[in-house]
Structure 1
Amino acid sequence: MKLHRLRVEQFRQFRQPVEIRNLGSGINLFTGPNESGKSTLVRAIRAAFFERFKSSRIDDLQPWGDSSSSPSVQLEFDWQGERWKLSKRFLKNKRCDLEIGGRLFSGEEAEEKLAGLLGYQFAARGASKAEHWGIPGLLWIEQGSGHDIHGPATYAGNYLKSALTENLGEIASSAGDELIAQVERERAILLTPTGRATGDYAEVQKKFEDNGERLEALDRDITVYQQQVDRLGELRLLEQQDAGKPWEHYQQQARQAEAKLIEVQHWLQAQENDTQALKQCMASQEHCREQLAAFARQQADLAQRAADRQKAEQWLSDMQARRPPVEKQLDAARTVYQSARQTLKQARQHEQHAAITRELVQINQDLSEIENRLNQSRTLQTQLLAHRAKLQENRVDAAALTRLQKTERALADIDISQQSAATRLQFALRPAQHIQMGDEELSGQGERLLLEPVDITLPDMGTLRIQPGGEDIAELARRRQAVQDSLAALLSALQVSSVSQAEERAEQRRILQEEIKQGEYQLGNLAPKGIDELASRQALHRQRQQALNAERRDLPAPGAASIDVATAESRLEASLEQLRTAEQSINQFEKDLGLAMQAKHNAQTEWERLQATIQSPDRERREKALNAQLMELRAREAALTNALAQREKQINEADPDILRQDKLRFSSTAEAMEAEARKRSLELVGLQNRLEALGASGLEEQRAELAQHAEYISRRRDELERRANALSLLLDLLSAKRQALTRRIQAPLQRHLNHYLKLLFPQANLSVNEELIPERLVRAAGSNETHDDFTTLSFGAREQLGLVSRLAYADLLQEAGRPTLIILDDALVHSDPHRLAQMKRILFDAAQRHQILLFTCHPENWRDLGVAAVEMQSLKTAL
């Protein structure tokens, strides 16, 4: 089959006719970017063959937005020496015409002719689907579906098998099928298709397994019973050992390690205190050295101060000589300015009268608004003064409360430490006996915590004196008293009796602060610069009002001016500029003179101060004192350094980290031993109960009875197993014979596959199953072979092998005298450069026997295909 011509019109993006003529018998390459119409042409060919011309469910063929169009396709191709011409129109003007060597067919008859020729079928209703496409669906690869071979090969299976049998020249015999079916039915009574037992065989096998499990369970119970008897003896022996409470020894060692660790922690605290004292000593030394260096610098500074004084005196003398000419220039400028100003004043009197009248109106309006805001502001200010007075009485702010709470927590921490470090006195006296502990008489049983030394009087025996805890108890007592005094001082300063009362006062203070903040915000809106400023504005407005009234009374009635205002302003501006220049000169002179006077005064003052300092009788005494203090500080530095070194050695020898580990290790050991003893005690009681119950159940008798029944079930299972194995063997032999016949049918297809496969994977084999679908790829890997199922291969490999399989199908169909046309829409896009080069060799080889239409948006990948490419844009502009 060779396609010569394709013409489409009103088909998707091709509203205008597009025609392809003179297609070659080998590869025909069409290139263009995405959306250029390649897939539209492929869809047109598919519609021409697969879609019934009467179908109304193919409106996707119309150009977008044009529901009145009639998509049409025309095809011309040669087959067996005759020219076939197909013309098909859809939707609006439905029609199908087929001409074969001068013979005309139309409608459904024409469609059936095409289906019979190419090997496909039409859908009974609606649009055509993949299961109807047969051979064309296998050979025409849609965009992105090249890797899927299973579905298309399944739908074309009957046509392919027909071609195979025609190649063999015979039809495969069905002799033996009934025998295989009979064996399968007999085997199905005992086994499922997957080889699992079923029916009576499954039931007997289940009983056999149940009896086996029950026997195993009884054996396990008997073994467990015997083991538990042995375990009971072990537990009774361990119980005797636990009676001595061996864990108490480790508890004592843990307490000793903890006591030593507390002692080391005191050393660490002392080390930290001495380190801080050493830093302070070093800082004091640096301060002394800086003061001594300052004394040395003062003598050098005195000579510099004398030079500065002489320089300042010369500058002052020069400045005083410049005063007369500067003052003369200023007097002349003032005379000119006053004359110009008087002239302008007379010119503006008439304008000023009207302006004053307008300003008085505005002043009256502003004064009314200011008085209203001033009254509101004074009311708010009175409220704020009351709130601030309350806030002043409440001294408990957040910082004070935090200090108070922190002090209270510190006192609680010291109490806890005292409780932990206190000596515990436990006593148990006989009836009617008592002892005297300080001022307290003790009798009966009880316990006391001793935080300070106490005398215990024993009647008729004497006195015992107990000194609790050593230095740490005394230190804790002193620290507690200091913290308690600090707490009392804070409460007194804040004028509260407790922390809770302070918290209440702090909350009241916060509420007052919020109210003050809100009042200040409102007052800020009414008087942004304050009430005084608002009152000042009121007073200024009133003064201005009075001044304007007085000024307007003093102004003469409107009349003609002797000179215009613009001229007077121009003269005044010129005279003012002269006056400003003169004033700037005199101001600069006064500024420079003031600076000179100030410089002279400062230089004299600095010289006198430094001279007095150097000659001060106290200076020598202070310098000696600083030297003596520096020596003392160096001696203290040496003492602190020595003490730190000795204590560091003592701490390192004690090794606090190891002491912590010892405490944890001994405590954990004691807890573990005690917990294990309790666990063994519980296990002993439970084990005794379980053994009593098991001893009464008769395990040995149950096992003997069950073993007898299991023997019978075993014989029945073996009998059914032999029959099932025999049927399976017979079925395997019959199936092997049938598979040999199948392989003979597959041989032609396998030959074509091997022809292409050697170009892609040398020394590889692609096997097909009974449905002629690629199944497994076997490749050489050194001295071994790799076996890969087709479905587990990469996407690119499946796409390549899918095309190889389709080309092999095409060769098979051609040998059987069936028409072939191969269409590839953007195929092999997932192939690497090496594999793509191999696939181009395969395509070029197949093109010697088949016509191939290849559409791609990657023309650079197909330049070496040996054919000229047709650009899609050239088709659109050809007509």
Structure 2
Amino acid sequence: MRRGLLDGHRVGGKEVEVIRPWGRALAPTVAVEFSHGGQDYRITKRFLDAPSSKLERKESGRFVSLAEASKADEMVRAMISKNAPGRGLSRPENWGLAQVLWTTQGDLALEGLSGDLVADISSSLRRQVAEPSAGPIERKMEEAYLRIYTPGGKYKTGRDAPPVVQLGHKLETARPERAAAVARQREYEDAARRVEDLRATRIQARRDAEAIGKEVKEARVRAESFQRLTSERNERAARASEEEAKHSDLKRRIDDIVSIRGDIKKATESLRKIESDLPLHERELLQREKEAAKAKSALEELRKERPQVDAARELAEQAWQFADNAKALDALEGELQRITAALEALNKRKKERAELVAPDDKAMKALRKAVKKRDEAQLLIEASLITLEVVPEKSGKLIIVTGEEPGEVGLSPGIPTRVTGSPEVVADLPGVSRLRASGPTGSVEEHRAGRADAERELQRLTKPFGTSDMESLETLLEKSRVFDRKISDAENQIDTWLSGRKLDDMHRQHSEVQAVHAKMTQDHPDWQRKMPDPSALKSAADDARRSFVGKVEKAESDWETAQNALTAARGRSEQASSQAEAARNMIKSLENRLAELTGDGKSDEQRAEELKKITLSWDAVRTKLEEIAGKLSGFKDNPVATAATLEKQVQAAEETASKALIAENREERHLEDLNAEGTYSLLAVVEERVAALEAEVTAEELRAGAIRLLRDTLVECRAEAVAAVAGPVETVATQIVQRIAGGRLGRLKLGDAFEPASVVPEISGEAVSLDSVSGGEREQIYLATRLALAEVLAREERQMVVLDDVMTFTDAGRMARVMAILEEEAQRLQIIILTCHPERYRGLNGAQFVDLEALLAASRASSI
């Protein structure tokens, strides 16, 4: 896609040579079909050798030439970028929109977009373009457009069809003729090449068959000799095995006879010794039985003293329990006394609090609200009154006709006199004038009624407390709070002493402990007078127990020793009897085996002579077998298999030559038929006619395309004023990142060129460089930024996003969320994913998987 859409077809240099097919002198070509502005296009380019470029546009269901050579490169590049590349292949800064929409393998990062793309994203969204028909230039452009295209954007047809359509019809008629002529010429060339290839194959196959035939004869002679020696070796080996078996059987019989005779002699001597020791073992067993019975009797007598030891230990434990019970009883009595005193003090404070009549917080809030309402009403009254101020220069009087306080008022020189009233103030200066002051109309009576209501509410609220003074009421409130705090502190102290217990439970526990104490003093009256010494009692009990245990352990050890001696003596006696019986059985078994071995009726001398004869025969057979093996070792491989393989090779070579001859004759006849047609001359005539038509069509298409491009550009440039795009892009990118990685990374910040600059985690609120996040999170941030920018670029037209093996550091859980996002983005974008790990994307719903290796294999197969 980079070669087809971004690079010029005339590009040269070393970096371009690498795209040439390896090991072949072929010119690389590329064809890309794409959509832009609602139109389908196809760009076809050839690089290096005879470079060419051709842009076609789909019209009426077929692609029609639109531009060629450099003009085609420029028109395609203008759809994506304004920044044309210099020498060599295009670099990312020349990609335009593809800087955002495409990623190369291992390069998901956005290092900053080129200046023209940043300007396009930022400024094109702020401009508004006038309607295309507003102005003489736009009108002329529209007229020129409608002479060629219909209002729907298609070429006109019929009587008003433009020249490009008429020429296109002629070209459509001529192209199939050229294609047929090219196919026939190519068929002629292929047939000639096949004839030469088949002739060379036939000649070589004949030569191979002759050469292999000589080797077959030699191999057959060696195979016959090998088979003869192999047969003789097998026969000698069978005889050697028979002689070896006879020798082994007789040698084993002679050795067994000698061995069994020796074993019988040893077993007889062992039986004689065992039988002489049996009386000694019986006397030892009787003595050990008497000693064991005596030791067991002594142990049982000692064990009868255990109840006395247990009674001493029980007394010591009861003394400990008595001491612990006494401590618990004292502690409970002390706690009950403290809690009882605290409860009496608490009841006294509650009584004092009940006798205090004071407002609570709710009542004070209502009082403050009523005071505020009264004061606000007073302010409104004062604001509603009209004020007339008179500053006399000499003494006199002022008669108030209308006002708050009608009547006569004395005047003193230089002293101001104020008269208030509503809705007007009227006063007379006798012998001078009548003064009248008025202002905005308003009902002061309404505010006076509000003040009266507030004062009545204050009287109602303060009546229970015997005073309406707010300071006194505040003092009563504070005093009640002091009482409440003291009561709360006392209750907390009592709760602390109770520690979650109930007072009744403590009294019940006290009664139970007291009952236990009384029972123990009843069992031990002397403990009532004097506390027992648990330590002394326990020490005495431990001494008695240690003494008892020591005696018992010694008696048990003596009894165990005697018992072990008895067991050992009994075992020795039984073992001697068993050994004697085993020796008798062994002698009997050996005598039976010896009778079987000597049952052949031969003497030892006869058997030795027979063994000697068998040994000599066996040695002779082995010597002959070694001679045959030496001869067979001279063959490096199996001559029989070699001969068979060579015969198959001769047969295959002859079949190859025959088939090649048949195919050669068939292709020669076909070549003669094609030569009679004059395929080359016919192709030259048709190509000249098609080339002339294509040149005329190209010129007309360039003119029509330029008019259409100008008109479409003005129409598409209608835009509304939009806010700066960085903020929305940051928001969308942040939402995508948080969907993938959660909210831990916080908010994403972009730089001036829309590159990811940092993240602002929620936990700190400070910007963190992308170098501080993991590799997986970094690639997730870059992907989110690209998708957010792609959404901005796709608002007016669906765009194509290309991802080449991205998300290599992302775990399976986050990868699943990435695929969910890609499925959503695919509603607005065309997404192409290039990967050598297709299994990672098998979970995408509605995705179309294309195996490039399978396509290449199919292409090779179809071209054979």
TM value normalised by structure 1: 0.29
Question: Per chain length, whose mean CA-contact separation is higher, i.e. which structure has more relative contact order (CA < 8 Å, sep 6+)?
Answer: 1
Between structure 1 and structure 2, the one with the greater Rg is: 2
